[in-house]
């Protein structure tokens, strides 16, 4: 599918989402209706094959769309991270029935939230969420991004000595979802607490981790965050231009009495644009590399080398994109004086949101993984694979 044809379906919705982004941020209004707009337009099914009712988009096309959505409101691509990762996992499921079942479910509008992390444990592998032999799920999850908006929740847990992932309807008896995420950024992602108390899990909705071979999913999860950051970078440029263009107040020391004609202001806006361009280019380059792994996985010919290449490219992008977008979100304020800090504009949301996204899967660990891979041929995913068993 041609990307412009695909994107044209969603851009009017992105524009509507952007129109209310400042008010939602200021009032902490969760984007329920905005998610409904996307659901009704089939946004959640862009990666689902056409045969099942989706758009059949490539992986790089998905990430281009997520960048555009992130420019409109950075909460939304992160909110949908679990949904798209679950979709991606089903696309490469070796069970054809599961692929078709979930493909049609998602094409019908179903959205999936993610509940994997817990407070107080050492890692995702160290879970206290349990699935009993008779299929009852018990546990408490935090960072449950997207669950407040979801129809299904994907949950990580343990059954006996086996790590499992289960899917449960979000309205099942015994599930409590809370909007208690207290981070200073990305406050509208529904990333709070989800409690499971004797929740019944159907046998066909249980997936064992040991059945999963190498995949591009680690890179995929990180790329959603990077696409979110690239979207923030674009929003910084948009808001800088929008702030300067109508402005007629300047300073005695200004080079030109009209801010948009002041070469110093022009220089700042030009630099913001360059940082945003570079960040987006890095994300899309990593998406192309990860797309090769995704295509190979769906064709049943994925190799460890393709997985390594996807992860290295993604982590290299991560180490670049974070610095560029955070720098841009700070430098934005150089285009104006105290009026740029007005809470009515919410320009500070760009830095707060970028800083919060950047703290997921911290970059300090990724530079070491890249170095170990280049120097010693140690696969970047080796630590995660060892932890998950």
pLDDT digits (tens, 9 = 90+) for 4-47: 999 999 999 999 999 999 999 999 999 999 999 999 999 999 99
Domain boundaries 217-388, CATH class: mainly alpha
Q: Could you tell me if residue 109 is left (phi over 0), alpha (psi between -120 and 50 degrees) or otherwise beta?
A: left
pLDDT exceeds 70 at position 316: yes
**Helices (H), ranges, the chain:** 3-19, 21-27, 32-40, 59-72, 75-79, 81-91, 96-107, 217-244, 263-299, 304-331, 348-358, 363-376, 382-388
Nearest CA to 297 out of 215, 379, 233 is that of 215
The C-alpha atoms of residue 189 and residue 179 are separated, in whole angstroms, by 9
What residue ranges of the chain are covered by domains with CATH 2.40.110.10?
113-210
Q: How far is CA 309 from CA 202, 280, 292, 304, 374, in A?
A: 36, 19, 9, 9, 11
With contact defined as beta carbons under 8 Å apart, do 262 and 250 qualify?
yes
Q: Where in the chain is the domain with CATH 1.20.140.10?
A: 217-388
- Kindly give, in sequence order, each residue whose CB lies less than 8 Å from that of residue 261, ignoring residues fewer than 6 positions away: none
Q: Which CATH number fits domain 3-111: 1.20.140.10, 1.10.540.10, 3.40.50.150, 1.10.3720.10?
A: 1.10.540.10
Greatest C-alpha distance within the chain:
76
CA distance 21 to 7: 20
Encoded tokens for 104: 């049609």
Rounded CA separation 323/328 (Å): 9
Contacts for 274 with CB less than 8 Å, ≥ 6 apart: none
Whole-angstrom Cα distance, residue 104 to residue 53? 6
pLDDT the model gives residue 312: 98
Ranking 23-37, 246-260, 333-347, 361-375 by mean pLDDT, the lowest is 246-260
Report H helices in 253-262.
none
- Render 176-187 in DSSP notation, one character per residue: EE------SS-T
The per-residue pLDDT for 48 is 98
Q: Which of 91-95, 122-126, 276-280, 284-288 has the lowest mean pLDDT?
A: 122-126
Residue 212: per-residue pLDDT: 60
Q: What is the pLDDT of residue 214?
A: 79
* Gap between the Cα atoms of 225 and 231, Å rounded: 10
pLDDT surpasses 90 at 139? yes
CATH number at 113-210? 2.40.110.10
Every domain range in the chain assigned CATH 1.10.540.10: 3-111
Phi, psi (degrees; rounded to nearest 5) at 136:
-105, 130
Query: Using CA atoms, how far apart are residues 248 and 257, in angstroms rounded to an integer?
Result: 8
pTM of the predicted protein model:
0.96
Instruction: Report yes or no: 175 and 142 within 8 Å, Cβ to Cβ.
Output: no
pLDDT for 242 equals 97
Q: Is 146 left (phi over 0), alpha (psi -120 to 50) or beta?
A: left
């Amino acid at each position: 599918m041609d990307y412009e044809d695909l994107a044209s379906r969603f851009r009017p919705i992105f524009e509507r989402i952007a129109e209310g982004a400042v008010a939602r941020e200021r009032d902490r209004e969760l984007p329920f209706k905005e998610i409904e707009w996307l659901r009704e337009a089939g946004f959640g099914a862009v990666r689902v094959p056409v045969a099942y009712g989706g758009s059949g988009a490539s992986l790089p096309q998905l990430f281009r769309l997520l960048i555009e959505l992130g420019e409109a409101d950075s909460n939304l691509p992160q909110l949908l991270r679990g949904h798209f990762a679950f979709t991606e996992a089903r696309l490469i499921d070796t069970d054809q029935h599961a692929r078709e079942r979930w493909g049609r479910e998602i094409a019908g509008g179903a959205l999936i939230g993610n509940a994997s992390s817990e407070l107080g444990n050492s890692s995702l592998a160290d879970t206290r969420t349990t699935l009993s032999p008779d299929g009852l799920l018990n546990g408490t999850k935090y960072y449950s991004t997207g669950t407040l908006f979801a129809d299904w929740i994907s949950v990580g847990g343990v059954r006996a000595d086996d790590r499992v992932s289960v899917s449960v309807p979000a309205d099942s008896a015994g599930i409590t979802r809370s909007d208690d995420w207290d981070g200073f950024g990305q406050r509208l992602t529904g990333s709070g607490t989800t409690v499971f108390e004797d929740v019944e899990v159907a046998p066909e909705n249980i997936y064992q981790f040991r059945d999963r071979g190498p995949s591009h999913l680690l890179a995929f999860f990180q790329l959603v965050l990077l696409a979110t950051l690239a979207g923030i970078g674009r929003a910084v440029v948009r808001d800088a231009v929008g702030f300067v263009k109508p402005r007629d107040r300047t300073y005695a020391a200004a080079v030109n009495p009209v801010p948009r004609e002041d070469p110093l202001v022009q220089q700042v806006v030009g630099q913001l644009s360059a940082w945003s361009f570079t960040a987006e280019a890095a994300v899309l380059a990593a998406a192309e590399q990860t797309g090769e792994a995704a295509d190979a996985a769906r064709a049943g010919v994925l190799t460890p080398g393709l997985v390594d290449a996807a992860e290295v490219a993604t982590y290299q992008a991560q180490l670049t994109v974070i610095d560029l977008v955070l720098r841009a979100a700070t430098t934005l304020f150089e285009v104006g004086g105290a009026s740029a800090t007005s809470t009515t504009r919410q320009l500070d949301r760009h830095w707060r949101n970028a800083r919060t996204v950047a703290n997921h899967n911290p970059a300090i660990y990724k530079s070491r993984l890249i170095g170990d891979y280049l120097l010693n041929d140690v696969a970047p995913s080796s630590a995660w694979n060892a932890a998950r068993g």
